Amino acid sequence: MSSEDEPGADSIKAALQSVRDMRLRKNKKIFFDLYYYCLTQFGKSDSYRNYLINERKLSEFSIEKFDLFYVGNYNQVNNHLKRTFKLEDLQRSGLFNEKGNMIFYNHRIIIPYKWKNEIVYLRARYFDQDCSPKTDQSKYLGLINDELNLNTPKRFYNVDVIEKLLPGEFLYITEGELDAIMMGDLGYNAVGIPGVGNMPSHFWLKRLFPFKVILVLDNDEAGKLLGNKLQKFFEYHRKPIFEKRLEAKDVSELVKGLS
The 10s digit of each residue's pLDDT in 166-177 is: 999 999 999 999
Is residue 149 domain-resident? no
Please indicate, yes or no, whether residues 125 and 171 belong to a single structural domain of this protein. no
Structural Rg of the chain based on CA atoms:
20
Number of domains in the chain: 2
Cβ neighbours for 58, distance < 8 A, ≥ 6 positions apart: 52, 178, 181, 182, 185
Q: What span, in angstroms and rounded, lies between the C-alpha atoms of 63 and 59?
A: 6
pTM: 0.90
Range of the domain at 239: 159-258
Please indicate, yes or no, whether residues 189 and 90 belong to a single structural domain of this protein. no
Is residue 150 domain-resident? no
SS (H, E, C) 177-238: HHHHHHHHHCCCCEEEECCCCCCCCHHHHHCCCCCEEEEECCCCHHHHHHHHHHHHHHHHCC
Mean pLDDT of 189-196: 93
pLDDT for the residue 4: 52
Is residue 183 domain-resident? yes
Mean pLDDT of 60-86: 97
Please indicate, yes or no, whether residues 105 and 210 belong to a single structural domain of this protein. no
Whether residue 1 is predicted with pLDDT greater than 60 in this model: the reply is: no
Is residue 148 domain-resident? no
Mean pLDDT of 56-77: 95
Please indicate, yes or no, whether residues 186 and 60 belong to a single structural domain of this protein. no
Mean pLDDT of 183-203: 92
pLDDT for the residue 5: 55
Please indicate, yes or no, whether residues 8 and 94 belong to a single structural domain of this protein. yes
Chain-wide mean pLDDT for the chain?
Answer: 91
Q: How confident is the model at residue 195 (pLDDT cuts 50, 70, 90)?
A: confident
**At which of 142, 167, 184 does a domain end?**
142
Mean pLDDT of 108-130: 96
Q: Is 129 helix (H, G, I), strand (E, B) or coil?
A: coil
Is residue 127 domain-resident? yes
Q: Is 100 helix (H, G, I), strand (E, B) or coil?
A: coil
Domain with residue 130: its CATH number is: 3.90.980.10
pLDDT tens sequence across 15-66: 777 888 899 999 999 999 999 999 999 988 899 999 999 999 999 999 999 9
Whether residue 235 is predicted with pLDDT greater than 80 in this model: the reply is: yes
pLDDT for the residue 257: 56
Please indicate, yes or no, whether residues 60 and 173 belong to a single structural domain of this protein. no
Cβ neighbours for 214, distance < 8 A, ≥ 6 positions apart: 170, 171, 172, 173, 241, 242, 243, 244
Is residue 215 domain-resident? yes
**At which of 111, 142, 173 does a domain end?**
142
pLDDT for the residue 200: 95
Please indicate, yes or no, whether residues 129 and 40 belong to a single structural domain of this protein. yes
Sign (positive or negative) of CA dihedral 33, 36, 37, 38: positive
pLDDT for the residue 13: 76
Q: What span, in angstroms and rounded, lies between the C-alpha atoms of 3 and 20?
A: 27
Is residue 221 domain-resident? yes
Please indicate, yes or no, whether residues 196 and 232 belong to a single structural domain of this protein. yes
pLDDT for the residue 23: 93
Asked if residues 223 and 176 have their Cβ atoms less than 8 Å apart, the reply is no
Is residue 10 domain-resident? yes
Please indicate, yes or no, whether residues 169 and 96 belong to a single structural domain of this protein. no
Cβ neighbours for 65, distance < 8 A, ≥ 6 positions apart: 184
Whether residue 247 is predicted with pLDDT greater than 70 in this model: the reply is: no
**Percent share of the chain, pLDDT over 90:** 76
Please indicate, yes or no, whether residues 120 and 172 belong to a single structural domain of this protein. no
Please indicate, yes or no, whether residues 119 and 189 belong to a single structural domain of this protein. no
**At which of 89, 108, 142 does a domain end?**
142
Please indicate, yes or no, whether residues 229 and 171 belong to a single structural domain of this protein. yes
Q: What span, in angstroms and rounded, lies between the C-alpha atoms of 3 and 9?
A: 13
Q: How confident is the model at residue 255 (pLDDT cuts 50, 70, 90)?
A: low
Q: How confident is the model at residue 148 (pLDDT cuts 50, 70, 90)?
A: confident
Q: Is 67 helix (H, G, I), strand (E, B) or coil?
A: coil
